Structure 1
Amino acid sequence: MARAGNSAFAHMFKMPKLWSFPLRMAGALFGALVCMAASAMAGDQDTYQKALDSVGGRAALEAVLRVEARLSGINYEPMENVVVETPIHTSDDKLRILWEPGSNRFRRETVLETIFPFKGSWTYQEVFNGSAGILTGRDGFRPSAEKQLAAARIGADLKEFWLFNPQFLLAHARPVEGASSQGSSAAEITLSLPDRPTSWRVRLDRERMLPVRLSVTEQDPVFGPVEVTATFSDWRELDGIMTPFRVVKRVDGALVRQEIREAVFYHKTGESDAFKLPDEPAAEALDASLTSWGWDMAHWFLRRAAMAAPADADQSHPVEFLEVAEGVFQVLGSSHHNLVIVGSDSLVLVDAPLYDRRSRAVLAALAKRWPDKPVRDLVLTHHHNDHIGGLQPYVAAGARLVVPGRDHGFFDALVRRTLGIEAEILPVSVPMTLRDFSKEVSLHLVPNSHANDMLAVYLPEDGLMFVSDLFSPGRSAQNPLLASELLNAIRFQGLAVSRLVGGHGRGVEPLSALEAAARR
């Protein structure tokens, strides 16, 4: 019986000769694919090991408890400039950094000299003990009292430590299988840290197998996913570890930082008090979601900090409406403000500050207060990223963009890139009044030194003008040059402006305040 059963079983799986050749070919192909995959994985490991050995090897790098670096940097901003996407020199800095790659504890001491948007000197320290952080000193227009270090800033700082130190990334990360590539002059491997899903793409010099470029994909409020790269040169051997002494950082191809390491030390023993936080006030535990937010948008947070204009607290809420004229409200609750003009059946909104999470909160508040009045027009005063970073939610909700005429192509390409649609855009090249709106809304170009094209929104019925950056009602710090340029435009165009409200500062001030700022 057993023999018969086995015979029947064998007969059932006996294939005719017609099918034997295709099956043998399929089996051979499958085997070849398996071999190719195994070969690719072996190639990934081999390339990774050569790169790791080139910078000193795992044992030497993992033996380093703490990295100390003294360096100088030059910072640039491609989206806070006079001409669209042309980097402007914003600041210089001197840094002393202590960082533990194994624990991610760090101390970052900064002396920052800003050139743009205001000249100033700022000295501050950031300390993170692995679970909480403190900021002391003054890192911009903030009180100098000791305060908790924002979770987003911690995430951004940690991201840059890894980005600027490829030798330690090679030791602490692991290769992503099947993601390497080979070229005649360079090889590329992809790495991943165990606690973060980020893909780090490392380009290697084929001759020495040293990293020449490290790139990651980050989120940008304006452009969406962007490539952030660090390129390395001036490699030197320190304690058996190859170390780059010059680093250049770019975002979406635009220069944002040049860094020179003046001295680097590798500490292999000893505990340090450098990461100790003061007992009072007790620092709160980190919000992991905000740390991840800072990690994912690290370049943006660090670029803001480099201008002494940090924006690393979550400013999506609150959303407050301050009435500055009948049916006209300044939208408060963050460092950057909108203006909402209420019409009979729709709304006109001016500027889209910061990022999409702020815009979604503003849209929700608008819908709650004026449920039957959608945003018809979104007027963007100028192209700077802190005033347009939240434009996508408004466009997705159906708003028409109203922009300076020479920026039309920039905004058209931007919406196509981020939303994949063709937005309705109204370019303004001469003084213009928005048609078919129940309240007269007049738009005027202001020649100035801050942004190549700048729109001011003028409401003749109220004698009220909204402007961003050129003058900030309610603020003590003003730029006399920008204030005088705005005043000249008002006078030359014969506008009967009596009061001003801004994208910064709270509430309104009379024209005399602008005149006083221009005389400083």
Structure 2
Amino acid sequence: MKYLKSIIFIGLCLVQFNALAHSEISGDLNHEKHKAEKLLWHMANAIGGKHRLLSIYSERIVSHGSRFEPEQAAGPGHAPVPVANYTQVHRRDFTTDRFRIEWENDILYPWTIARTHAEIINGKFGAVFGFDTFIPPAPEFSPMFSTRMAMRIKQHLMSSPAYLIHHAFANRQGLRYEGKVNFKGRKNFVISMIGLHERIKVYIDAHTHLPSKTETLEDDPVYGDTLLEVLFEDWRRVEYIKAPFHVRFRFNDAIINNEIRTEISFNEPLQDELFEVPETLTKPFEPEQFAWGDRSSQMFARMLAMGVPIDFDQSNPQTAQLFPVSDNVFHIVGGTHNSLIVEMENYLIVIDPVLYSQRSNTIIGMAAQIWPEKPIRYVVATHFHNDHIGGIRSYAAIGATLVVADSAKHNLSAILQAPHTVYPDSLAINPRKTTIETIPYQGELELTDGSNSVRIISVPNVHSEDILVAYLPNQATVFMSDVYNPGLPIPLPAQFDNWAINFYDAIIPLGLTIEQFAGGHGLPGPTPFQLFEDTVNASR
């Protein structure tokens, strides 16, 4: 009996201890939540007052800005490239999930072309009216993919304090106090809230109580877990509401969007026809694609700024079709980017791990079905640009040897070491030691099984300092990305001519027998090398 009483006593003590610990944790959480709500109120009052802000039913922003791309420079670590100048009129209906953005986009890189279009989001449907990319014959009207819808909604949520406060009060249960920090030499309180899926932090100036910036972690193929920041400056009063007239987007510590707002107005009447999406343009809402557009918004936004439409899912097997170059060489074509796969006696070689890991996973799965006994032993990145190396981690995860130019080795090492916790990829789930082969400037690496060979040759080019070309002697075929795009149906600017001339002048002195050209963009299958020569001669 004494033993039983002791057990009961100990049990009651444990119950009381757990209850006390739980109450302390709950109390801490409630206290932190109360702090976050209090700071939200202070921020709302500084901007114009909670009641005034929550009475806003529409917002109109007229702005102009410039876009920059750090991963399209001539070499790793070089200054970001100016890729576009734009003006836009952005209308947001706060009472419903409706947006309209009217664009005039002057694309500067990699082509010079002006594009005028409107993007409309109405609930779970969206559409694009006008031409927004470089690819003709693009339809004048097209449905909007769910990835793009999420990207645009997230950008507005993070860059419009008025909309952000609406969202925060509507989702108060998700508020969290994150502490205090120094930002730009000033004390800031930090709170966070649930965005579309990922958490968004808001830095609140301790003196003015205005938001200094918003930030969130994104998943990027090259950078991995990457900080996206939206910085607010030049606050002015619009009627009774304060608004920032200078907004900058910073990604991985680089400014990628510098926006000046010239007009901001609230509560203008909005006609329903501004947000109409014809039934013929409605596309089924895809929750997984929407989540992808949220967690990787800047991957899509940065490419769209250059007129490259990667907002559709290029991990779909329909975007990775095989076109024969010879009996054992195949051009992998579909969507915006192409690769090459070479069948050797006991293994496979892939040239260009384009876009992102999902695309690479599709190619890896397709190769395993067609050649189940032959692993992918080598993958070659033609250059360091993010759209041509973004899928390389998937190949590292299956044990392939990675081949890059010597100048890109440090960049590749950073890609392989980058943490991917926002959306773990196959290498994050199953990390492994990776073998890297590098090719010195104007050097060469031959991959051979005795009867077949692939020569990977470094050639100088102004497009990228680490350009590699794959030459297949048995097939008299060369594969190259960007510097020449066979059959690309648009007039190309002079810089493309320079890239092509650079490449021609570098490859001809090597004395290679070349009959066919396969490109990282452009037509499926090989095209006559003579066509490339004619293009170069006409451009000189």
TM score, norm. by length of structure 1 = 0.91
- Aligned CA RMSD, in angstroms, stands at 2.6
Contact 2:217/2:228, CA 8 A, preserved across alignment:
yes
Look up the equivalent residue of 1:305 and give its one-letter code: L
Deviation at 1:29, TM superposition (A): 8.2
Contact 2:175/2:191, CA 8 A, preserved across alignment:
no
Contact 2:142/2:281, CA 8 A, preserved across alignment:
no
Please give the secondary structure, in 2, of the residue aligned with 1:50. helix
Verify: 1:447 aligned to 2:460, yes or no. yes
Please give the secondary structure, in 1, of the residue aligned with 2:403. strand
1:179 corresponds to: 177
Look up the equivalent residue of 2:229 and give its one-letter code: T
Q: 2:535 aligns with which of 494, 502, 517?
A: 517
1:460 corresponds to: 473
Output the CA distance in 2 between the equivalents of 1:24 and 1:134: 58
Output the CA distance in 1 between the equivalents of 2:350 and 2:15: 67
Deviation at 1:14, TM superposition (A): 11
Contact 1:490/1:497, CA 8 A, preserved across alignment:
no
Cα offsets for 1:197-234 (capped at 9, x unmatched): 32110111111011111001111122222111111100
Output the CA distance in 2 between the equivalents of 1:275 and 1:23: 58
2:400 corresponds to: 399
1:108 corresponds to: 101
Please give the secondary structure, in 2, of the residue aligned with 1:209. coil
Contact 1:433/1:443, CA 8 A, preserved across alignment:
yes
Please give the secondary structure, in 2, of the residue aligned with 1:274. helix
Please give the secondary structure, in 2, of the residue aligned with 1:259. strand
Output the CA distance in 1 between the equivalents of 2:287 and 2:176: 31
Going from structure 1 to structure 2, the CA distance change for 1:336 and 1:31 (only over 3 Å counts) comes to closer
1:428 corresponds to: 439
Output the CA distance in 1 between the equivalents of 2:355 and 2:94: 31
1:28-177 equivalent positions in 2, closer than 5 A:
36-86=28-78, 87-140=80-133, 141-142=135-136, 143-173=138-168, 174=171, 176-177=174-175
Query: Which stretch shows the higher mean deviation, 253-262 or 39-48?
Result: 39-48
Output the CA distance in 1 between the equivalents of 2:413 and 2:8: 65
Contact 1:219/1:297, CA 8 A, preserved across alignment:
yes
1:60-459 equivalent positions in 2, closer than 5 A:
60-86=52-78, 87-140=80-133, 141-142=135-136, 143-173=138-168, 174=171, 176-183=174-181, 185-193=187-195, 196-267=196-267, 269=269, 271-278=271-278, 281-316=280-315, 317-318=317-318, 319-418=320-419, 419=427, 420-429=431-440, 430-436=443-449, 438-459=451-472
Look up the equivalent residue of 2:377 and give its one-letter code: R
Contact 1:78/1:88, CA 8 A, preserved across alignment:
yes
Output the CA distance in 1 between the equivalents of 2:378 and 2:219: 26
Please give the secondary structure, in 1, of the residue aligned with 2:349. strand
Please give the secondary structure, in 2, of the residue aligned with 1:154. helix
Output the CA distance in 1 between the equivalents of 2:379 and 2:177: 43
Deviation at 1:344, TM superposition (A): 0.5
Contact 1:416/1:422, CA 8 A, preserved across alignment:
no
Q: 1:494 aligns with which of 508, 511, 519?
A: 511
Contact 1:415/1:422, CA 8 A, preserved across alignment:
no
Look up the equivalent residue of 2:535 and give its one-letter code: A
Output the CA distance in 1 between the equivalents of 2:243 and 2:341: 53
Contact 1:232/1:247, CA 8 A, preserved across alignment:
yes
Cα offsets for 1:126-164 (capped at 9, x unmatched): 112213222111111142421112221111111111111
Deviation at 1:428, TM superposition (A): 0.6
Query: Which stretch shows the higher mean deviation, 165-174 or 449-458?
Result: 165-174
Query: Which stretch shows the higher mean deviation, 345-354 or 443-452?
Result: 443-452
Query: Which stretch shows the higher mean deviation, 458-467 or 411-420?
Result: 411-420
Output the CA distance in 1 between the equivalents of 2:349 and 2:461: 25
Look up the equivalent residue of 1:80 and give its one-letter code: Q
Deviation at 1:464, TM superposition (A): 0.7
Contact 2:514/2:529, CA 8 A, preserved across alignment:
yes
Contact 1:95/1:111, CA 8 A, preserved across alignment:
yes
Contact 2:145/2:283, CA 8 A, preserved across alignment:
no
Task: State the aligned residue count.
Answer: 505
Structure 2: gaps of 5 or more residues = 420-426
Output the CA distance in 2 between the equivalents of 1:513 and 1:135: 35
Look up the equivalent residue of 1:188 and give its one-letter code: V
Output the CA distance in 2 between the equivalents of 1:421 and 1:165: 42
Output the CA distance in 2 between the equivalents of 1:437 and 1:230: 55
Output the CA distance in 1 between the equivalents of 2:278 and 2:207: 49
Query: Which stretch shows the higher mean deviation, 91-100 or 469-478?
Result: 469-478
Output the CA distance in 1 between the equivalents of 2:116 and 2:8: 82
Output the CA distance in 1 between the equivalents of 2:269 and 2:335: 45
Deviation at 1:38, TM superposition (A): 4.4
Deviation at 1:400, TM superposition (A): 0.6
Look up the equivalent residue of 1:293 and give its one-letter code: W
Going from structure 1 to structure 2, the CA distance change for 1:424 and 1:276 (only over 3 Å counts) comes to same
Contact 1:124/1:136, CA 8 A, preserved across alignment:
yes
Look up the equivalent residue of 1:500 and give its one-letter code: F
Greater Rg over alpha carbons, structure? 1
Contact 2:201/2:214, CA 8 A, preserved across alignment:
yes
Please give the secondary structure, in 2, of the residue aligned with 1:364. helix
Look up the equivalent residue of 2:198 and give its one-letter code: T
Query: Which stretch shows the higher mean deviation, 397-406 or 131-140?
Result: 131-140
Output the CA distance in 2 between the equivalents of 1:386 and 1:215: 24
Going from structure 1 to structure 2, the CA distance change for 1:159 and 1:27 (only over 3 Å counts) comes to closer
Going from structure 1 to structure 2, the CA distance change for 1:330 and 1:250 (only over 3 Å counts) comes to same
Structure 1: gaps of 5 or more residues = 1-7
Going from structure 1 to structure 2, the CA distance change for 1:145 and 1:29 (only over 3 Å counts) comes to closer
Query: Which stretch shows the higher mean deviation, 116-125 or 505-514?
Result: 505-514
Deviation at 1:15, TM superposition (A): 7.5
Deviation at 1:35, TM superposition (A): 5.4
Contact 2:345/2:449, CA 8 A, preserved across alignment:
no
